[in-house]
Amino acid sequence: MKGKLEEYYAYRNVLRSMVEKGLFGKYKNSALGFLWHFAMPLIYVVLCFFINTEVRERAEYYWVLVASGIMVFHMLTSSVAGGTTCFTGNAGILKKMYIPKELLVYSRTIVHLIVLMIGYVVIIAIVGISGYGINPLALLFLPLLFVALFFFSVGCMLILSSINVYVRDLQYLLSSMGLVFFVFSPIRTLAAEAEGIRATVFWLNPFTYYLESFHSIIYFKEIPDMFVLGMCFLLPIVFMLIGIIVFNYLKRGFVERL
């Protein structure tokens, strides 16, 4: 572990460069630039507000429910779908020079985390200004959840991006499943309100625990349920362990496969 940390420190400038490219490089020639990172979450909020009229009629602040979870959902789907190409999308770099391969995963996750945190600063400010109110005590749990989301995303990316080097169909499968993730994640409704098979699918979905935690903190203005919160911290441990094992086992053949 000490050797790895020293290696990461030695390549810190490379990591910073990759993060800057991820934040600003993709949209550098567009008028809105960095703001495009928030375009998809905003579109989701608008669509949910106008499509789910029945739910909206039951909740005056329905937009707060959707907004409280949309940035988390965006980060998680970006990690699962977009993060699958961390290695295959950077084949040229991995073939031409040596860098710790996992830095590609860390840099992309850091980009997602920065966008997530900025998004929630804006959301919380808007919710506070709207008169809906916030609970400062509940907000103290947000930094802990950000850390948990970071490691959960890293674990997912390590697993999926490593497998994708050998099975390229995985990236196309996951990139086409955005609607599936949207339907089977409690963004527009609460997982506690689901019934039957839908409830089962919700609670089998790892995304649910993070979405419900953010719903509790922002929409219900309360500390998340201890079981849900516990799962938010257990999942990163499990996925990180699996991710490290899968990555270390498969990385030996990366250069040949890429």
* Total domains in the fold of the chain: 1
Contacts of 71 (CB under 8 A, 6+ apart): 41, 115, 116, 119, 120, 123
- The runs of H, that is alpha helices, within 21-61 are 39-51, 53-58
Range of the domain at 237: 2-257
Q: Which helix (H) or strand (E) holds 104?
A: helix 102-129
Residue range 102-151, pLDDT digits in tens: 999 999 999 889 888 888 888 888 888 888 889 999 999 999 999 999 99
The pTM is what?
Answer: 0.88
pLDDT tens for residues 139-183? 999 999 999 999 999 999 999 999 999 998 888 888 777 778 878
- Residue-wise pLDDT for 47-87, tens only, equals 666 655 555 555 667 888 888 888 898 888 888 877 888 88
